[in-house]
């Protein structure tokens, strides 16, 4: 099996970007180890703090964030980082070539139940004309990502990554301590009979999503003429991984629970990197209004509607909005 660096060189990834990716992965290996230690490492449970988005931080959210932040800012490759757990961007090397957005721990509610969690990251080139402490550097669309990926801390630790030449799967090989390529150019099946949505929010969705899901639930006696199965891991990394492996549609639609916050998932470090991975695997990554990666962001913690996965199913869903 191919090691990571030769696999990236085969895709003509520049050497400094390969070095940055290896830096990110060094942090994920440490997190993977700590996750496996669970209570033995004293990292279960919550802190007494909230992040800027008003969510209670788990101990592992904080530890993972500090690990990433330190390793990235010390690397020299990075001009600034932004994270779910940081109020605003944090400056690094003034001449660093890249900026990195990340969700250090996705699926935080799964930490304490020993279930699927992961890390999501997105890399852009740093604008040369802006200072390292200027958060406006992050106002770049998903189209301009040079790399995106996630690491899944599951029964095995897996890396799923794209640099724009397909979406590839790697597994952490603990015998030599590195990631090995296990599947090149994954393809999302165009059709599916599986959907992922938090059904408990149904009464808050807009009419088109209500109608679409009702038709899926009607199964082979309804207008879709086939039965659908539902899965919800409560960690986007897990739900998107399933979609990449065997197809499906994953959505976190607009809802009316909180007037000031109609969307749940964050553009920079959840929706954009996952969109890059899904599109590179032949799937679609949309809001009800257009492509996620076309959105010009206006803030680091901006939230967005997400409808992504198998091409024909995403198109079927969007048909309800027309
Ligand atoms: P995070 O743990 O980084 O805050 O993200 C959790 C997100 C996402 O991973 C997941 O799909 C969704 O929140 C789960 O939402 P519900 O609480 O509605 O299940
Ligand atoms: Mn998350
Ligand atoms: Mn998180």
* Centroid of ligand 3 to alpha carbon of 71 (angstroms): 18
pLDDT above 70: percentage of residues in the chain: 100
Residue 106 CA: which ligand 1 atom is closest?
3
Residue 38's pLDDT is 87
Domain boundaries, the chain: 4-183, 194-319
Question: Which region holds residue 45: left if phi is over 0, alpha if psi is between -120 and 50, else beta?
Answer: left
Average pLDDT over residues 179-202: 98
**pLDDT (mean) for 274-284:** 99
Q: How far is the CA of 56 from the centre of ligand 3 (A)?
A: 11
DSSP 8-class letter at 252: E
CA gap 43, 120 in Å, rounded:
20
How would residue 114 be classed by pLDDT, with cut points 50, 70 and 90? very high
180 CA from centroid of ligand 1 (Å):
28
Q: From the alpha carbon of 232, which atom of ligand 1 is closest?
A: 19
Q: How far is the CA of 141 from the centre of ligand 3 (A)?
A: 21
Q: What is the mean pLDDT of residues 17-46?
A: 94
Distance between Cα 8 and ligand 1 center (Å): 30
pLDDT in tens, 133-150: 999 999 999 999 999 999
pLDDT value of position 230: 98
Q: Point out the ligand 1 atom lying closest to the alpha carbon of residue 239.
A: 11
Q: Residues 19, 22, 27, 33: what is their CA dihedral angle, to the nearest 10 degrees?
A: -160
- Return the pLDDT at 211: 98
Averaged pLDDT, 257-286: 98
Q: What is the fold, at CATH topology level, of the domain defined by 194-319?
A: D-Maltodextrin-Binding Protein; domain 2 (3.40.190)
Ligand 1 atom closest to the Cα of residue 53 is: 4
Q: Which residue, judged by its Cα, is nearest atom 16 of ligand 1?
A: 234
Q: Report the separation in Å between the CA atom of 252 and the middle of ligand 1, taken as the mean of its atom positions.
A: 9
Distance 138 CA to ligand 2 centre (A): 18
Yes or no: domain 4-183 corresponds to CATH 3.30.540.10: yes
State pLDDT tens for residues 79-111. Answer: 999 999 999 999 999 999 999 999 999 999 999
Task: Give the whole-angstrom CA distance, residue 160 versus residue 149.
Answer: 5
Does the global pTM surpass 0.95? Answer: yes
pLDDT in tens, 34-61: 999 988 888 888 888 999 888 889 999 9
pLDDT score at 258:
95
Rounded mean pLDDT, 149-154: 98
Which chain residues have CB less than 5 Å from ligand 2, an ion?
A: 103, 106
pLDDT for the residue 242 = 98
Ligand lying nearest the CA atom of residue 109: 1
57 CB under 6 A from ligand 1?
no
Give the number of whichever ligand sits closest to the CA of residue 235. 1
69: CB partners within 8 A, 6+ apart: 81, 83, 86, 90
Nearest CA to ligand 1 atom 17: 234
pLDDT at residue 18, rounded to an integer:
98
Q: Which long-range contacts (CB under 8 A, 24 or more apart) does 282-286 make?
A: 282/187, 282/188, 282/190, 282/311, 283/188, 283/243, 283/244, 283/308, 283/309, 283/310, 283/311, 283/314, 284/308, 284/309, 284/310, 284/311, 284/314, 284/315, 285/314, 286/314, 286/318
Predicted confidence at residue 26, as pLDDT, reads 97
Ligand 1 pocket, residue 196 CB under 6 Å: no
pLDDT at 220 over 90: yes
Q: What is the pLDDT of residue 43?
A: 84
180 lines ligand 1 (CB under 6 A): no
Residue 308 pLDDT > 90, yes or no? yes
Please give the mean pLDDT across all residues of the chain.
Answer: 97
Atom 6, ligand 1: residue with shortest CA distance: 107
At residue 42, the pLDDT reads 85
Query: To which residue do tokens 């492996």 refer?
Result: 245
């Amino acid at each position: 099996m191919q090691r990571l660096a030769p696999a990236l060189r085969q895709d003509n990834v520049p050497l400094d970007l390969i070095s940055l990716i290896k830096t990110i992965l060094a942090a994920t290996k440490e997190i993977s180890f700590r996750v496996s230690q669970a209570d033995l490492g004293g990292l279960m449970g919550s802190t007494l703090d909230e992040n800027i988005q008003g969510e209670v931080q788990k101990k592992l959210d904080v530890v993972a964030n500090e690990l990433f932040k330190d390793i990235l800012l010390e690397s020299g490759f990075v001009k600034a980082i932004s994270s779910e757990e940081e109020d605003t961007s944090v400056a690094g090397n003034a001449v660093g070539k890249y900026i990195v957005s990340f969700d250090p721990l996705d699926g935080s509610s799964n930490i304490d139940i020993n279930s699927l969690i992961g890390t999501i990251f997105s890399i852009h080139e740093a604008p040369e004309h802006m200072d390292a402490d200027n958060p406006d550097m992050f106002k770049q669309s998903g189209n301009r990502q040079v790399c995106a990926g996630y690491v899944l801390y599951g029964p095995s630790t897996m890396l799923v990554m794209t640099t724009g030449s397909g979406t590839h799967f790697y597994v952490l090989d603990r015998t030599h301590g590195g990631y090995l390529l296990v599947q090149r150019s994954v393809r999302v099946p165009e059709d599916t009979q599986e959907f992922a949505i938090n059904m408990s929010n149904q009464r808050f969705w807009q009419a088109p999503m209500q109608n679409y899901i009702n038709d899926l639930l009607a199964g082979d006696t309804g207008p879709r003429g086939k039965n659908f199965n539902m899965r919800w891991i409560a960690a986007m990394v897990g739900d998107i991984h399933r979609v990449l492996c065997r197809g499906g549609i994953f959505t976190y639609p607009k809802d009316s629970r909180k007037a000031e916050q109609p969307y749940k998932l964050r553009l920079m470090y959840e929706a954009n990197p996952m969109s890059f991975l899904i599109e590179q695997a032949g799937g679609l990554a949309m809001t009800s209004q257009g492509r996620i990666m076309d959105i010009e962001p206006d803030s680091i913690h901006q939230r967005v509607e997400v409808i992504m996965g198998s091409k024909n199913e995403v198109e079927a869903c969007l048909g309800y909005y027309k």
